[in-house]
Amino acid sequence: MKMPRGGARFVIGFLALPVLLYVVFVIAPYLQAFYLAFTDWRGVSSTPRFSGFDNFTRLLADPTFWAAVGHHVILLLALPLITLAIALFFAFLLNMGAGTKGVRGSKFYQAVFFFPQVLAVAVIGVLFQAVYRPDKGGVLNGLLDLVGIAPIGWLTQPRLALWSLIAVLVWQAVGFYVVLFAAGMANIPKEVVEAAELDGCSRSRMFFQVTLPLLWDTVQVAWVYLGIAAFDGFALVATLSVDRGGPDGSTTVLPLEIWRTAFTYSKFGYASAMGVALFVLSLTFAVLTLRVTRRERIEY
Amino acid sequence: MSAALPQNPSRRSVLKGIGMAALAAGPLSACAFGSSDTPATGGATGEKSTTNPFGVVANAPLEVVIFKGGLGDAYATEVHEPLYKKAFPQAEIKHVPTQQIAQTLQPRFAGGNVPDMIANSGSDMMDNGALQGEGQLLDLTALYDAPAIGGSGSVRDSLLPGSVEAGFIAGKPYMMKYIYTVYGLWYDSALFAKNSWAPPTTFAEFDTLLGKIKAAGIAPYAYAGKNAAYYQYWMIAVTAAQIGGNQVLIDMDNLKEGVWTSDPVRQAAEAWASIGKKYLDPSFEGLTHTEVQTSQNQGKVGFYPSGSWLENEQKEQTPAGFQYALAPTPSVGSSDKLPYGAVRAAAGESYIVPSKAKNSAGGLEYLRVMLSKEGARGFTEKTGIITVVKGAADGLKLSPGTQSSNEALKKAGDNIITYNLFEDWYKEFETDLRSKTNALMFGRSSAEQFCKDVQAKADAIKADSSITKQSRTS
């Protein structure tokens, strides 16, 4: 397509500012982090010293780093699986629960599910501090107390803590994916659904053999989004967990360790090396997911 | 103060910090460490005299950064800054209150545009050891050798023992430690008097008393595992020093081989672990210091380990009848090196002058004003906390808690247990120790395991060539 006269100038005019911002605040810091990863910079001098691959060999032998990576693996499996399962289920009920329509009041439910998405992460942190409070003053433990169950240390038991945090992440994410899938389902042609219905297709068969295949592109995108979210978790871990990443380091994640290594230990070089590792991990994940889940696109 | 206000970082504040680092970098070609490196001149100086020993230029502006935490910042705006202004009426004072010292100042250090005096405190304080290692801090020897304002003799002579040494890094004073803090077990003396409970002198008595408190339906002992586990390792360290003498703490700071697995530390860990096992409710691991302190104010917690800032920090929440009082940590056995009544008392709260400050002479003078009798007295009036300046608070009407800690200090006499400097020196070790302390106190780790694990971390720090080592002799 040929661009109209002055079109290039028009496009550049619109793009210049966002691209500049992106370069200054995203690309440039990334490049700097790669550079710093090879130094022993402690954050205060004006001349970082090169230390070669020191930071990286150190990283490979750092148990805290591997613990954090282990938690990301758990997050990477649990977060997308649980979130997508719940979101697909809700979206299906809301949009195709009654054949080509959703259940009664589906618009209302959709809005309600979306609420958590509107809240800032900090608000969610504060909210769940109250929900998970380990004594009888907590929302959950208060309810348990009513039926005579002793308070549970949602965030203080090392085996439970990470799962409690995953529950919060899922709670927050589901609404968004319900809306995303609802939009995807609205695009599924009515004729296909009606034809399946006439053939006596059951609800569950409809879901697995009609809806899901036609929604595959959306699911794939959702999986990548959630996978990338699984590499974060900083704000929730920092506000909710015992001693930031505890108990006994059972909830720590890489962004938290990077933050701590840089701003608490003043090892900016080493923290940058962790950042580079995180960058490589998330990029690998995104590429792999897109490759592995690539399928023949169904035209309709 | 580092102890008083641990905060959760919000993701935004962190991002802001990083963003500011990028902004400080200015043009794209420059990087986060600033483009030009102005030589460390320490700023311009004027004529020196006995009233102006550092040669402050009378009209040079002064920038003061105050950590606005448990102490507030009225002591600076209403006491020290006016005093400075009185001496140098032409000087413009820029007052910067913040709770996020590192996020605010780290980019400025990297960029070479630093303030003249910093109250480096709070959970987001900058690593003093790292700053000193990079030559960013001014040696304060001149300050302590200068004549004291309104007194005879030098500033050094006007201070309580150990105050100057508390600010040592690499054998020289780089930090001015200002407040004198007494540590111990805090309780409500009104509540205790009503139940005729007396502070215990031995761990056996402690055990019995905690049992009685528990029977009365009150959580007998508590600390906040979520963000103030260090309150608890202080108690373990203090008990270890009681058993084996203050040398144990010096050895800890010097990363001496086997100090954490030595008998005094192991016995202290055992004594506290058994208290944890019997009397510490598991829910406290998930609560913050504010939550636990509020519970104590509501009469739901017996003893709470902390320092003497506690009363001031809780001022708003404390009900009228509540009387803060301090009990020294109980003795473990009759063979303890230090008698019952020994307390940890230390100069704390770091005030620093950057070596590359534009008006570093003014920064030093500001510290001298703080250390004058008048400045220190005003500080105590504003915050209720005593300073390192000898006798500055004499005759002031003190609150029950301050009164109680003063009395404990008098009774202790020479039996003073010092601070753990590894908290300033080796943040990485300190962070790990918090987590290990929670594991010990909440029953996930035995005393033996605790000692072994902590020693292993200390050894790892010692072997890590990227960490600058410090040492102390007293």
Q: Looking at the structure, do residues B164 and B214 belong to the same domain, yes or no? A: no
Model pLDDT for residues A176-185, shown as the tens digit of each residue: 999 899 888 8
Is A214:A188 a contact under the CB 8 Å cutoff? yes
What's the confidence (pLDDT) of residue A48? 81
What's the confidence (pLDDT) of residue A215? 87
Q: Which residues contact A190 (CB under 8 A, 6 or more apart)?
A: A100
Give me the long-range contacts of A69-74 (CB less than 8 A, separation at least 24).
A69/A254, A69/A281, A71/A162, A71/A251, A71/A252, A71/A253, A72/A230, A72/A231, A72/A253, A72/A254, A72/A281, A74/A162, A74/A166
CB contact under 8 A, A265 and B14: no
* Residue type present at position B364: L
**Distance from chain centroid for Cα B77:** 22
What's the confidence (pLDDT) of residue A214? 85
Q: Which residues contact A174 (CB under 8 A, 6 or more apart)?
A: A83, A86, A87, A90, A113, A116
Q: Looking at the structure, do residues B110 and B201 belong to the same domain, yes or no? A: no
Stretch 389-428 of chain B: residues touching chain A, C-beta under 8 Å: 427-428
Model pLDDT for residues B345-401, shown as the tens digit of each residue: 888 889 999 999 999 999 999 999 999 999 999 998 888 888 889 888 877 888 899
pTM of the model: 0.79
Q: What is the DSSP code (8-state) at residue B284?
A: G
Quickly tell me which residue has 């719940």 as its tokens: A86
Strand (E) or helix (H) holding A293: none
Pure H helices in B384-446 = 400-412, 422-425, 427-441
Least confident of A88-102, A136-150, A203-217: A88-102
What's the confidence (pLDDT) of residue A77? 92
CB contact under 8 A, B28 and A24: yes
Is A182:A94 a contact under the CB 8 Å cutoff? yes
Backbone angles phi, psi at B377, to 5 degrees: -65, -45
Report the distance separating Cα B367 and Cα B156, nearest Å.
12
Q: Looking at the structure, do residues B61 and B109 belong to the same domain, yes or no? A: yes
**Structural domain includes residue B468:** no
Half-sphere exposure in the Cβ direction for A209 (13 Å, CA)? 11
Stretch 220-249 of chain B: residues touching chain A, C-beta under 8 Å: 225-227, 229
List of chain B residues whose C-beta atoms are within 8 Å of the C-beta of residue A270: 466
CB contact under 8 A, A238 and B9: yes
Nearest chain A residue to B102 by CA: give it: A263
CB contact under 8 A, B438 and A36: no
Least confident of A23-27, A182-186, B92-96, B426-430: A182-186
- Tell which residue, B171, B178, B101, B261, has the closest CA to residue B468: B171
* CA angle, B236 then B234 then B215, to 5°: 65
Structure confidence at residue A100 as a pLDDT band (50, 70, 90): low
What's the confidence (pLDDT) of residue A11? 85
- Mean pLDDT for A73-100 is 86
Q: Looking at the structure, do residues B242 and B354 belong to the same domain, yes or no? A: no
A78: its two tokens:
């649990």
**Structural domain includes residue B469:** no
State the first-to-last Cα distance of chain A, in angstroms, to the nearest integer. Answer: 26
Is B190:B182 a contact under the CB 8 Å cutoff? no
Q: Looking at the structure, do residues B369 and B240 belong to the same domain, yes or no? A: no
Interface test with chain B among A243, A254, A256, by most B beta carbons within 10 Å: A243
The question of ipTM being above 0.90 is answered as no
Model pLDDT for residues B266-322, shown as the tens digit of each residue: 999 999 999 999 999 999 999 999 999 999 999 999 999 999 888 888 888 899 999
User: Is B447 or B471 the better-scoring residue by pLDDT?
Assistant: B447
State the first-to-last Cα distance of chain B, in angstroms, to the nearest integer. Answer: 23
Q: Looking at the structure, do residues B426 and B454 belong to the same domain, yes or no? A: yes
Structure confidence at residue B65 as a pLDDT band (50, 70, 90): very high
**Structural domain includes residue B225:** yes
Backbone angles phi, psi at B182, to 5 degrees: -110, 135
Final residue in a domain of this structure, among B406, B434, B454? B406
Q: Looking at the structure, do residues B236 and B380 belong to the same domain, yes or no? A: no
Is A225:A134 a contact under the CB 8 Å cutoff? no
List of chain A residues whose C-beta atoms are within 8 Å of the C-beta of residue B10: 122, 235, 239
Is the CB of residue B434 less than 8 Å away from at least one CB of chain A?
A: yes
Least confident of A45-59, A285-299, B128-142: A285-299
Is the CB of residue B8 less than 8 Å away from at least one CB of chain A?
A: yes
Is B372:B153 a contact under the CB 8 Å cutoff? no
Task: Count CB-CB contacts under 10 A for residue A183.
Answer: 12
Report the distance separating Cα B174 and Cα B129, nearest Å.
9
Is B177:B119 a contact under the CB 8 Å cutoff? no
B97 forms beta bridges with: B66
Stretch 246-265 of chain A: residues touching chain B, C-beta under 8 Å: 246-249, 259-260, 263-265
**Structural domain includes residue B372:** yes
What domain range is B42 assigned to? 16-181+346-406
Structure confidence at residue A299 as a pLDDT band (50, 70, 90): low
- Mean pLDDT for B118-125 is 85
What's the confidence (pLDDT) of residue B4? 40
Count structural domains, chain B. Answer: 2
Is B92:B57 a contact under the CB 8 Å cutoff? no
Stretch 182-241 of chain A: residues touching chain B, C-beta under 8 Å: 234-235, 238-239
Final residue in a domain of this structure, among B406, B427, B445? B406
Walk me through the domains of chain A, giving residue ranges and CATH numbers: 62-292 (1.10.3720.10)
Q: Looking at the structure, do residues B331 and B341 belong to the same domain, yes or no? A: yes
Is B152:B456 a contact under the CB 8 Å cutoff? no
Final residue in a domain of this structure, among B358, B380, B406? B406
Interface test with chain A among B12, B18, B23, B31, by most A beta carbons within 10 Å: B31
What's the confidence (pLDDT) of residue A252? 93
**What pairing do the DSSP bridges indicate for beta strands B416-417 and B343-352?**
parallel
**Distance from chain centroid for Cα A254:** 14
- Tell which residue, A220, A223, A255, has the closest CA to residue A237: A255
Structure confidence at residue B90 as a pLDDT band (50, 70, 90): very high
Quickly tell me which residue has 């220190």 as its tokens: B376
What's the confidence (pLDDT) of residue B9? 39
What's the confidence (pLDDT) of residue A276? 94
Is the CB of residue A142 less than 8 Å away from at least one CB of chain B?
A: no
**Structural domain includes residue B11:** no
Nearest chain A residue to B36 by CA: give it: A46
Q: What ranges make up the beta strands (E) of B335-467?
A: 343-352, 416-417
Is the CB of residue B134 less than 8 Å away from at least one CB of chain A?
A: yes
Q: Looking at the structure, do residues B279 and B323 belong to the same domain, yes or no? A: yes
CATH number for the domain spanning B391: value is 3.40.190.10
**Structural domain includes residue B2:** no
Q: Looking at the structure, do residues B71 and B133 belong to the same domain, yes or no? A: yes
Q: How many interchain CB pairs under 8 A, A with B?
A: 140
Is A192:A213 a contact under the CB 8 Å cutoff? no
Does the pLDDT at position B31 exceed 70?
A: no
**Structural domain includes residue B413:** no
What's the confidence (pLDDT) of residue A298? 61
What's the confidence (pLDDT) of residue B43? 61
Out of B17, B444, B466, closest to residue A40 by CB = B466
What's the confidence (pLDDT) of residue A110? 82
Report the distance separating Cα B140 and Cα B122, nearest Å.
22
Out of A36, A42, A156, closest to residue B282 by CB = A156
Give me the long-range contacts of B78-86 (CB less than 8 A, separation at least 24).
B78/B378, B78/B382, B79/B375, B79/B378, B79/B379, B79/B381, B79/B382, B80/B366, B80/B369, B80/B370, B80/B375, B80/B378, B80/B379, B83/B369, B83/B372, B83/B374, B83/B375, B83/B378, B84/B362, B84/B365, B84/B366, B84/B369
What's the confidence (pLDDT) of residue A297? 62
Task: Count CB-CB contacts under 10 A for residue B170.
Answer: 14
Is B392:B380 a contact under the CB 8 Å cutoff? yes
The answer, yes or no, to whether the previous bond of B6 is cis (omega within 30 of 0) is no
To the nearest 10 degrees (0 to 180), the angle between helices A254-263 and A268-292 is 160
What's the confidence (pLDDT) of residue B197? 94
Q: Looking at the structure, do residues B107 and B251 belong to the same domain, yes or no? A: no
Report the distance separating Cα A166 and Cα A253, nearest Å.
12
Out of A155, A249, A270, closest to residue B286 by CB = A155
Model pLDDT for residues B150-183, shown as the tens digit of each residue: 878 899 999 887 788 888 888 899 999 998 889 9
Is the CB of residue A97 less than 8 Å away from at least one CB of chain B?
A: no
**Structural domain includes residue B472:** no
Indicate the SS3 state at residue B85. Answer: helix
Report the distance separating Cα B398 and Cα B384, nearest Å.
7
Out of B9, B438, B466, closest to residue A246 by CB = B438
Quickly tell me which residue has 């919060």 as its tokens: A168
Q: Which residues contact A78 (CB under 8 A, 6 or more apart)?
A: A166
Task: Give the torsion sign (CA, A188, A194, A197, A201).
Answer: negative
Is B65:B96 a contact under the CB 8 Å cutoff? yes
Does the pLDDT at position B241 exceed 90?
A: yes
B62 forms beta bridges with: B93
Q: Looking at the structure, do residues B169 and B200 belong to the same domain, yes or no? A: no
